[in-house]
Amino acid sequence: MNADGSEQKQLTTSPGANFEPTVSDDGRTVVYVSKAADAAQNLWRMNLANGDRAQLTNGGYDLRPDISPDGRWVVYMSVIKDSPSLWKTPIDGGGAAIQLSDKIAAVPRVSPDGRFIACFYRAQVEAYSKLAVLPFDGGEPVKVFDRPTTTFVEAGIRWTPDGRALSFIDNRDGVSNVWLQPLDGSPPKQLTNFTSETIFRFAWSPDGKMIVAERGTETGDIVLINK
């Protein structure tokens, strides 16, 4: 759809669930997660001009794709035996996937200059995850930051467009707000001042002047079933 919500167009019609889309910087390609009826969950690429599709991974449980700024790579997390790790694969499907870290890491996001990857990171299984920045080619983190225990990990991490800070969602007292962690190591700071609802996903505009957020509430019901 357009930025004002007009001209909405459905992109996928294949069976199963298709979600977590990410679009290349040139606007020509979208990579998304497709979950088949057999519960396999892999990454697919689509040409936005003609709708041509191609499967990129066969890991069985791959998700959270992000396309590098040069449009050559897709960085993602793969869950093997309940343990998430970071990988990247060529967007043209012409090569094998490359593991970027042997530590527990999740929800990757490539920096605007394509040199680094931000993620939630744990060096040890029993440790509490932190915000971390890894080299794009993989390896040990170059920066690690503590994060609030109320961080909404599922909402992911976003680089600010200038590449100077990481943004994330903090849920405090049932209310979500966007926070910033500057890369210079200074304390995190609150960016938005919402007083209600949860932020499930968010993104920056390319010029850094706006944030688009998916906000709302979750409700549930208890259902009694007679057998």
Let me know: does 56 contact 43? Beta carbons within 8 Å.
Answer: yes
Written as one string, the DSSP assignment of 81-112 is TTEEEEEEEETTS-S--EE--SSEEEEEEE-T
Cβ-based neighbour number of residue 126 at 10 Å: 5
Question: Has residue 81 got a pLDDT over 80?
Answer: no
71-to-18, 33, 60, 92 alpha-carbon distances in Å: 21, 18, 24, 9
Q: How many CB atoms lie within 10 A of CB 87?
A: 21
**Using CA atoms, how far apart are residues 118 and 132, in angstroms rounded to an integer?**
6
- In tens, the pLDDT along 35-58 reads 977 778 999 999 999 999 999 999
The pLDDT, as a whole number, for residue 224 is 87
What span, in angstroms and rounded, lies between the C-alpha atoms of 21 and 34? 10
Q: pLDDT class for 126, splitting at 50, 70, 90?
A: low
CATH number corresponding to 1-146: 2.120.10.30
Residue 225 has pLDDT above 90, yes or no: no
Instruction: Note whether 43 and 92 are within 8 A (CB).
Output: no
pLDDT digits (tens, 9 = 90+) for 10-26: 999 888 899 999 999 99
Q: How large a percentage of the chain has pLDDT more than 90?
A: 78
Calculate the dihedral angle through the C-alpha atoms of 88, 188, 196, 192, rounding to the nearest 10 degrees.
Answer: -90
Boundaries of every domain in the chain: 1-146, 149-227
Global confidence as pTM: 0.90
